[in-house]
Chain A
Amino acid sequence: MKVAIVGIGIHPFGRTPELSGMQQGAYAARLALQDAGVRWQDMQFGYGGSYEGGNADAIGNELGLTGLPFTNILNACATGGSSLLAACKEIKSGEAEIGLVVGFDKHARGAFNADPSEYGLDAWYGEAGFMLTTQFFAMKLQRYMHDHGISSDSLARVAEKAYQNGVLNPNAWRRSPIDIETIKNSTMVNDPLTKYMFCAPSEGGVALVVCREDIAHRYTSHPVIVSAAAMRTRKFGAFEVYGPSVAGQNIPNASQLASRAAFEAAGLGPGDIDFAQLQDTEAGAEVMHMAENGFCEDGEQEHMLLRGETRLSGRLPINTDGGCLANGEPIGASGLRQIYESVLQLRGAAGSRQVAGDPSVAYTHVYGAPGISAVTILQN
């Protein structure tokens, strides 16, 4: 049995002072229900999550308290992916036919400041100044650039592409182009990453209506099939976020594990993917995630980016909606934004940023602390 996505909704990302995170989630849910032509009362279950916006089941305060079984999911950057995964299992188990997946968030300005104790770490780790994801990505990237010959220009090209795609996305936060020189010369934040190479915590909401594939035609003329949804956590010895020590060499990380599991489940390989959304909390993450998800060998990114292969017009468009760099990162909503964008593209409804050639296979990937990753493969 397969699961189909038959409704999608989004609240624009960025800053919306007049709405709580939860209200942005409810807004997205209304649009997703409307898109599928169903009522909230028709939902047989709900899964959703938010890191700082409150319990997702509270969208019932906006949509109506119907008594449906709603489970709150909190799984770091994989919150959205884990919610979709749980929904797929619910449907595949035969327990339910149709339900809602929602994610939203609303973060304060500035870098995240996580509490070490939530990650099984002692207080000193935070006091000493290690509790920053930006540092991890900078250090991982510094080594990657050293080992595989990636230049600062490549990082700037990734960011320039993201802002360019954001210009074409009415729901994006950053909608102005930024040129490569400006990106390279902006304030250095964590060497080798400058200000415009980082995304920022933001706000937004996304919702999906999912159902059993064989009844999808009731709700839409263009269902999108979830061919794989995989989530993995870190293995001992891998280089991951918030790791005071790394004991192994070349141990596959959470992204690599999730990616392999998803390709295996879908019976597909990287060459089958028409476009991809890859976690780009900073420009170097996208570069490294290209290889970790199997889309190139380590180091090939330099030429791929130079040739524009990951631009909208390229061989493998990446982060077609501007990614985290142009949308910011509301943790609970971010992974579902990738899925929203993928469905839009597969429907051929992405407007001025539509990937050419009737794309039929999409790939999404998130990665976050302390080493967790979710990957989905979606097909027409």
Chain B
Amino acid sequence: MNYEMPTALKQRAIDPTLFDWPDKSPALKASRCRQCGAAAFPVNASCMACGGDDVSIERLPERGTLWTWTIQRFMPKSPFSSSETAETFKPFGIGYVEFPGAMRIEARLTQNDPAKLAIGAQVALTFYAHRVDPDGTEVINYAFAPV
């Protein structure tokens, strides 16, 4: 007998401050200082530019351009936490995505083939199951995919 729920029914965001999950149209959240206008991702209670403590939360665009990238080819030590082992680890792409207005954010990339990654390429927000916790909950992280 196995009474476990299907894993897809048990999901959570890797961190609830990054994006809402589940959500009809999930988007990344950033904070913007009401005093000086500086933006930060992820949401920060204070402004990292001027130190003000009055920030608003806004949604980041779904599309941006790849500003730079690399491939993480060795499995990082802890605190990296996926469901992979040294045997099953798959190299992953990582980069900075630039949005109109000059803000760049660090992100996992769905593509890990260097031949398919190029600075300036259009990329779009997506989500993936980063790991499965011992209780069966899928931990969802954000990523960007070439479009």
Contact = CB atoms under 8 A, between A and B. Distances in A.
Contacts, number: 119
Contact of A130 (B41, B49, B104, B106): B106
B79 A113 contact: yes
A132 B68 contact: no
Given A127-B81, A132-B76, A249 B71 contact: no
A92 B67 CA distance: 46
A138 B93 CA distance: 12
B70 A191 contact: yes
Interface residues of A, number: 38
Interface residues of B, number: 43
Given A129-B76, A129-B80, A191-B114, A244 B106 contact: yes
B94 A139 contact: yes
B70 A128 contact: no
A246 interface: yes
A310 to B, nearest CB: 25
Given A139-B94, A191-B114, A126 B80 contact: yes
A245 B71 contact: no
Contacts of A122: 15, 17, 42
Contacts of B114: 191
Contacts of A247: 38-40, 49, 102-104
B62 to A, nearest CB: 16
Interface of B: 14-15, 17-18, 30, 38-42, 48-49, 67-74, 76-82, 92, 94-96, 102-106, 108, 114, 119, 130-131, 139, 141
Given A188-B71, A247-B39, A247-B103, 6 more contacts: A113-B78, A129-B92, A129-B108, A142-B69, A236-B49, A249-B102
